[in-house]
Homo-oligomer: A and B are copies of this chain.
Amino acid sequence: MPTRTDTTTTTTIASLPVDPSHGALRPLALSQVTIDGGFWADKQSLNASAIIAHCEAWMEKVGWIGNFDAAVEGRLPADRAGREFSDSDVYKLMEAMAWEIGRTHDDTLDARFRALVARIAPVQEADGYLNTRFGRDGQQPRYSDLQWGHELYCYGHLLQAAVARGRTTGDDEFVQLARRAADHVCDVFGVGGIESVCGHPEVEMALIEFGRYTGESRYIDQARLFIDRRGHGVLGDIELGSSYYQDDVPVRDAEVLRGHAVRAVYLAAGAVDLGIEDEEDGLVDAVAAQLARTVARRTYLTGGMGAHHEGESFGADFELPSDRAYSETCAGIGSIMLNYRLLLATGDSTYADLIERTLFNVLATSPAADGQAFYYTNTLHQREPGSIPAADVASPRASSSLRAPWFDVSCCPTNVARTLASLGSYFATSTAVGLQLHQYAAGTVSADLASGRVAVRTETNYPDEGVVRVVVTETLTDEWTLSLRVPHWAGEAATITVDGETHSAAVGMVHIRRPFAVGDEIVLSLPVEARWTEPDPRIDALRGQRAVERGPVVMCLESTDAGHVSTVDEVRVTGDLRDDDGVVTVGTRRLTVSDDAWPYGVDSATLDADTARVRLLPYHSWANRGPSTMRVWLPLESADSVSTGR
């Protein structure tokens, strides 16, 4: 089984989530990036100690893993549990386990992984077909419902899990099982086979990565067929419109991401992969242009994507209501996957900007502090305190005021788990002549350049503090380039200190090219202090409002911290914003509307004369203290024409 031929390492397995055949930047493997302190190390620890086990326990409890036993024992369809695509979550859990095993070499976890393989393997049929929901007596026939059946989507997650397993542990029974499934897909959906696609894109990027991993072009050819077929109405119209599953316009012709947000970003990620492998720059450029427009017009301040609950979908340009922000956790993760592929392809740091934003404000928001509950949707405005989801029953609803332990559709928890387990790869890259740090955390990065290995150690309390100290720990005699990202949000206020000399550092990548010595220290200083953020005037939902951000972290007002009002919707902010070593407060006045009658045309609102200072907290940590109301965007006291008590 071929693995990536690294310039200098041929003995270690390259544990790469994504391994393009070419591109501006080369990905680093999990073994080359460690995060050992601070915000993301804590999240990775939470994943290791709680989230992965939580997902596994719940899928045992609700019977999604048991579906495979039921298949072996001939108890299907009678005993089948879960939605038609529940197999996919078992695979996504296994992908998380596989990366985690690669990261921590946890033998116990490896035994659990093997136990799952032992239960799944017997379910695979002789021709490679593997699905607990279709094809048996009493079940719908195989591939009889491509719109909603998700069989190819399930294979996609199986293949991604197999890539993780193969690249961390090596070829094994599970990887071979996946290869049989991939061959089956090519047999059935290849040239001369079923000329259609899956309602939920996912198998495209999975086939390509599996092709990269195995070296088999057949899988990439199959992904190309799927990508080329989609967009021509092959799936038929539905109530939500064929844009729901991106079957309205071919991916090369589309102008913007649209429809179901997770489907859209997964498809786009697969299209970038295909463009890279086919060296079809036009395809990569098309997706990049779609993403650029999506980021400019259809993305929340948090990086979240998807404004509609209906269809879990993107809205129109500038249709970004805070209170109906669907911003599915999986869409955020898919956006990170897409942006990472474009970062590798182009080297453009704006992709890393959006990755950072989405990591801190979507991915980090989903899991509760204890890792036992998750947000599926990530609203930017909670109007009603709502209630606590049941602790022992899967939630039938994607949205709730508090995180739920599990969902009837529970794609998000396992997606969080696999992303946290493979997080290191998103933090740094290399080229033949340099090392690039895109995300900042205490830890180490090493890379094999054309002329040898280099390594750095980073010390930082980012994002609480803005100082990032990078020390060279392994170097070359030749000069090489250390590049650090200056985030877009830093404006003109970032500085970099090299050899005791401080320079201003413009947004983008700051490159330090020289013959480094071990012990050389570079200090990047980022202005993380809290700042006001204004919305684009075309976003109707945000008119007259301001948000507060602190470094890459979006702040919010939770009612728990605003005792002078009954709901955050009564708050109007003054211009007074303070940041006292990370304690962020704003001045507020309370809005009172005395009447409760026809709400148009008569104005009886007043603003309190007194102001109250209230503390803001990072959006990612809201709703850990019981039911509450919350706003990211805060109306200005001057926004409404109200009489004031001043």
Contacts and interface: CB of A to CB of B under 8 A. Distances in A.
Interface string A370-405: 000000000001011000000000001100000000
| Residue of A241, A315, A543, A605 ringed by the most chain B CB atoms within 10 A | A543
Contacts of A293: 596
B596 A396 contact: no
A295 B597 CA distance: 7
A125 B396 CA distance: 38
A280 interface: no
A128 B518 CA distance: 91
B239 A543 contact: no
B540 A322 contact: yes
Given A316-B383, A384-B316, A639-B543, A535 B296 contact: no
A114 interface: no
B323 A593 contact: no
Interface in A216-236: none
A591 B537 CA distance: 9
Nearest to A317: B383
Nearest to A383: B316
Contact of A540 (B316, B381, B408, B537): B381
| Residue of A237, A301, A598 ringed by the most chain B CB atoms within 10 A | A598
Interface string A634-646: 0100011110000
A50 interface: no
A297 B598 CA distance: 8
A404 B133 CA distance: 37
A599 interface: yes
B540 A396 contact: no
B408 A569 contact: no
Contacts of A408: 239
A500 interface: no
Contact of A536 (B319, B539, B600, B635): B600
A238 interface: yes
A594 to B, nearest CB: 11
A640 B593 CA distance: 23
Contacts of A319: 323-324, 383
Contact of A537 (B238, B292, B309, B605): B605
A431 B640 CA distance: 45
A91 to B, nearest CB: 24
Given A534-B603, A535-B600, A600-B534, A323 B540 contact: yes
A321 B321 contact: yes
A489 B601 contact: yes
A239 B310 contact: no
Contacts of A640: 537, 543
A408 to B, nearest CB: 7
A527 to B, nearest CB: 13
Contacts of A536: 593, 599-600, 603, 605
Contact of A544 (B292, B569, B639): B639
A239 B396 contact: yes
A541 interface: yes
A157 interface: no
A627 to B, nearest CB: 14
Interface in A512-544: 533-541, 543-544
Given A316-B383, A323-B319, A599 B297 contact: yes
Contacts of A292: 596
The A interface is mostly helix, strand or loop, or mixed, namely loop
Interface string A313-349: 0011111011110000000000000000000000000
A308 interface: yes
Contacts of A321: 321, 324, 540-541
Nearest to A316: B383
A600 B237 contact: no
A296 B383 CA distance: 16
A172 to B, nearest CB: 38
A301 B600 contact: yes
Contacts of A635: 537, 540, 543
A237 B534 contact: no
A578 interface: no
| Residue of A241, A384, A534 ringed by the most chain B CB atoms within 10 A | A534
Contacts of A603: 534, 536-537
A490 B302 CA distance: 45
A439 interface: no
Nearest to A544: B543
Interface string A611-633: 00000000000000000000000
A488 interface: yes
A547 interface: yes
B544 A544 contact: yes
A238 B397 CA distance: 8
23 contacts: A241-B397, A293-B596, A296-B597, A296-B598, A296-B599, A301-B600, A308-B310, A308-B324, A310-B310, A316-B383, A322-B540, A323-B540, A536-B599, A536-B600, A537-B591, A537-B593, A537-B605, A537-B639, A537-B640, A538-B599, A538-B605, A540-B541, A543-B543
Given A535-B599, A535-B600, 4 more contacts: A297-B596, A489-B601, A534-B603, A537-B642
Interface of A: 237-241, 292-293, 295-297, 299, 301, 308-310, 315-319, 321-324, 353, 381, 383-384, 396-397, 408, 488-489, 533-541, 543-545, 547, 549, 569, 591, 593, 595-603, 605, 635, 639-642
The 10 A-B pairs of least Cβ separation, nearest first, read A536-B599, A537-B640, A309-B310, A543-B544, A316-B383, A310-B310, A533-B601, A296-B596, A239-B396, A537-B605
